[in-house]
Amino acid sequence: MTQLPKMPTSTMPYKNAVLDDLELQQALKKINPKFGDFVTRVAGEAWGLPLIDQKTKALIIIAVDVVNQNLLGPGTPFAAHVDMAIKQGVTRAEIEELLLFLCVYAGFNKAAASFGALNEILVQS
């Protein structure tokens, strides 16, 4: 069963959503220690690029999950990415608007599945 994230206790966005989130790093290492270290280094560098803010990057990665249908189940990142987005100040309403927007470009069925996954993630938080 997928380990769903807890709602963040702080609403202060991280400067780097990967390198500053020790809880995320530990979760990645639980998958596999080498994988966790690798993802932290590579994704941390990508999240550190300066021109796109962390909140926008968090919404982009949710859009990627929707398009790829990486939503729920073992090894899927959607719950972690929703958690990252919330930690960066994204609201549920903003995620829902993103899913509505993606209906047009990714497909209604993908958006519907994403709404279902989002509801499951946020109800259990």
Residue 72: which pLDDT band, with cuts at 50, 70 and 90?
confident
| 74-97 per-position pLDDT tens digit | 778 899 899 999 999 999 999 999
What pLDDT is recorded for position 5?
A: 46
95 CB contacts (<8 Å, ≥6 apart)? Answer: 59, 62, 82, 85, 118
Residue 123: which pLDDT band, with cuts at 50, 70 and 90?
confident
Nearest to 90 by CA among 57, 116, 48: 57
| 16-71 per-position pLDDT tens digit | 889 989 998 998 999 899 999 999 999 999 999 999 999 999 999 999 999 988 78
In CATH, the architecture of 22-123 is Up-down Bundle (1.20)
What pLDDT is recorded for position 73?
A: 77
The secondary structure element, H or E, covering residue 53 is none
pTM summary value = 0.81
